[in-house]
Chain A
Amino acid sequence: MEKELWKGNEAVAEAAIRAGCKYFFGYPITPQNEIPEYLSYHLPKIGGCFLQAESEVAAINMIYGAAGCGVRVMTSSSSPGISLKQEGITYMCGAELPAVIVNMMRGGPGLGTIQPAQGDYFQATRGGGNGDYRHLVYAPATIQEAADYVQMAFDVADLYRNPVMVVADGMIGQMMEAIEWREMPKRELPEKTWATTGTKGERKPNVINSLYIDPNLCAEHNERLAAKYKAMEENETRWEEVNTENCEVLFVAYGTPSRITKAAIKLLEKEGIKAGLFRPITLWPYPSKQLKAAASQESVKAVVDFELSMGQMIDDVKIALEGCRPVTFVGKAGGVVPTPAEVAAAAKAAIGR
């Protein structure tokens, strides 16, 4: 396949269409506007529907309605808008509805800024909505990955009957890169016999619902969901390791910081320091075992967590390491992106150089 130059947000939108998504409901917010703009033009051409909702709250509930009818559907937003979607996300997890939700993260808290950030890690991985629920969170680091994982997300959502979130810092949404459109491996997917398509008088009514008023039934429902989440942990965890073998410093970073880290590793190499990168691709489920294995090598003196936040993923890093190595933090929140030299300096400080 030939390489094509694509802007991140437009690649995300095109990837959804290529994955068979014909429906999108959203609300404008920077820095993700090219996603709804692209789809507002292209979805009607393929017999689909784009609708700009009155709010993110309405948009996510439209996703709920569409997903309940068994069609592939997506919404996208950025940080403050994703906060508003949390109600719908917990309802969709409760009602077991597959859909794809994209968050092009910007600086917070509150209205924050429109520049790239990763301050929504807790919200994405811990659940900003109520109740015991989980959903996959893919964190692409390149536009190629954004295109790939958005396509994959639809299959995974259908497989588990669960929403899937794709989070990227605004940098990924806004920049352009050469990508190739490649077919993602297809999963074997169950038929959506639960969808509301009208009974036609041929079956009992299907009901899309997250209400279990009998506490025993609600407890059972939670057990069943937990088993499903466990299966996701076992089968869907993804990560990448770069230069980790026998490294002295192990960086942990995802999204744009992982790319800056690769440059920092080269700077450190010039000074005779071998550094490696552990990059979670799924933020949930978190690749804890794999991270601990990489960090437990005898060569590793320090683990440096690098985020575009004031330190959120670092909690998962510490949980994964179970105290086996010291963990230090480097990062900035609010839309400022550290340089490779700053990141390299943090690594040197961590090992006393």
Chain B
Amino acid sequence: MAIVYQKSKGLTDAELHYCPGCTHGIVHKLVAEVLEELDLLGTTIGVAPVGCSVFAYNYFNCDMHEAAHGRAPAVATAIKRVSAPGTTVFTYQGDGDLAAIGTAEIVHAAMRGEKFTTIFINNAIYGMTGGQMAPTTMVGQKATTAPLGRDKDHYGSPIRMSEIISTLEGAAYVTRVSVHDLASLNKAKKAIKKAFQMQMEGKGFTFVEVLACCPTNWGKTPAASIEWLKENMIPYFPLGVYKDVDGEVK
């Protein structure tokens, strides 16, 4: 019998702890497949964040660091700079980790043009701690610390990280993708692959923002979450390429 599909060698056999309808598992799969297809697994060191993907070090089948909250870009900076030439380095971070507590670290890693790849999962909420407001929470969106919804006068509007990172000279490739349907998923995988390829070509810092669903903390079914993402997040966080030193933008 022919094998038509199998799990990527880039993932371990550990059972994922993610909730039903959560898109972390999909993005893990895409990163793992890309590392396998580019034959980078044996020379890759990943950095896991604090947040829902804190256990990513159990899932990726390569050497891993678990970083303090928000500090993954600092940890990755050093890993890349002390490791043998040809080592691939990536961070995998959520919105609380990257866009709140770790804002300084991600901005400065991008400014320096650190040659690693960041996969940024933007699901507009703090998942692991139970649904608190994130810097990317939509205006009006309810969270356990914004029970009446995010108030613009009180908290401002959500931060757009891809747009910010793309203004920095050190950033070589910055794109925002989504995994809400098959077409967007395929685009996301291409973006992740391009980011890793550009890292290995020494082009500079590469950043892939992935819009993601959190049905548990959004209080929605997985199907309704996808609709909510399309209707609310994509208009505010437009998909597209924000920076590409190799080619076309948007």
CB-based contact A65/B76 at 8 Å: yes
Residue numbers in A under 8 Å from B62 (CB-CB)? 198-199, 205
A265 CB within 8 Å of chain B: no
The smallest beta-carbon distance between B12 and chain A, in angstroms, is: 8
One of A55, A95, A198, A202 near B87 (C-beta < 8 A): A198
B150 CB within 8 Å of chain A: no
CB-based contact B82/A73 at 8 Å: yes
CB-based contact A62/B43 at 8 Å: no
Residue numbers in A under 8 Å from B55 (CB-CB)? 213
One of A57, A58, A63, A207 near B63 (C-beta < 8 A): A207
A51 CB within 8 Å of chain B: yes
B3 CB within 8 Å of chain A: no
CB-based contact B78/A54 at 8 Å: no
B57 CB within 8 Å of chain A: yes
Q: Name the interface residues of A205-227: CB closer than 8 Å to any CB of B.
A: 205-211, 213
B41 CB within 8 Å of chain A: yes
Q: Name the interface residues of B192-214: CB closer than 8 Å to any CB of A.
A: none
One of B12, B41, B64, B77 near A208 (C-beta < 8 A): B64
CB-based contact A199/B63 at 8 Å: yes
B104 CB within 8 Å of chain A: yes
A25 CB within 8 Å of chain B: yes
A272 CB within 8 Å of chain B: no
The smallest beta-carbon distance between B105 and chain A, in angstroms, is: 5
Encoded as 1 (CB less than 8 Å from any B CB) or 0, chain A from 117 to 128 comes to: 000000000000
Q: Which residue of A lies closest to B76 (CB)?
A: A65
Complex Cα gap A198–B43 (Å): 4
A69-B45, A198-B87 are contacts. A207–B78 as well, Cβ < 8 Å? no
Q: Which residue of A lies closest to B111 (CB)?
A: A54
Q: Name the interface residues of B38-68: CB closer than 8 Å to any CB of A.
A: 41-45, 47, 54-55, 57-58, 60-68
B108 CB within 8 Å of chain A: yes
One of A51, A91, A95, A205 near B61 (C-beta < 8 A): A205
Complex Cα gap A53–B81 (Å): 13
Encoded as 1 (CB less than 8 Å from any B CB) or 0, chain A from 170 to 197 comes to: 0000000000000000000000000011
Residue numbers in A under 8 Å from B67 (CB-CB)? 61, 64-65
The smallest beta-carbon distance between A67 and chain B, in angstroms, is: 8
CB-based contact B105/A23 at 8 Å: no
CB-based contact B66/A63 at 8 Å: no
A37 CB within 8 Å of chain B: no
Residue numbers in B under 8 Å from A206 (CB-CB)? 63-64
Complex Cα gap A201–B61 (Å): 10
CB-based contact B42/A65 at 8 Å: no
Residue numbers in B under 8 Å from A62 (CB-CB)? 74-75, 77-78
Residue numbers in A under 8 Å from B61 (CB-CB)? 205
A255 CB within 8 Å of chain B: no
The 5 closest A-B pairs by CB, nearest first: A65-B78, A65-B75, A196-B63, A61-B71, A61-B74
List, sorted by A's number, 27 A–B pairs whose CB atoms are closer than 8 Å: A23-B82, A55-B104, A57-B71, A57-B74, A58-B74, A58-B77, A61-B67, A61-B68, A61-B78, A64-B74, A65-B47, A65-B74, A66-B78, A66-B82, A68-B79, A73-B78, A87-B68, A197-B63, A197-B84, A198-B62, A199-B42, A200-B42, A200-B43, A202-B42, A205-B61, A205-B63, A207-B64
Q: A58-B104, A61-B67, A62-B75 are in contact. List 12 more A-B contacts (CB 8 A).
A: A53-B108, A65-B47, A65-B82, A66-B81, A68-B79, A71-B82, A88-B68, A198-B43, A198-B84, A200-B43, A207-B57, A211-B66
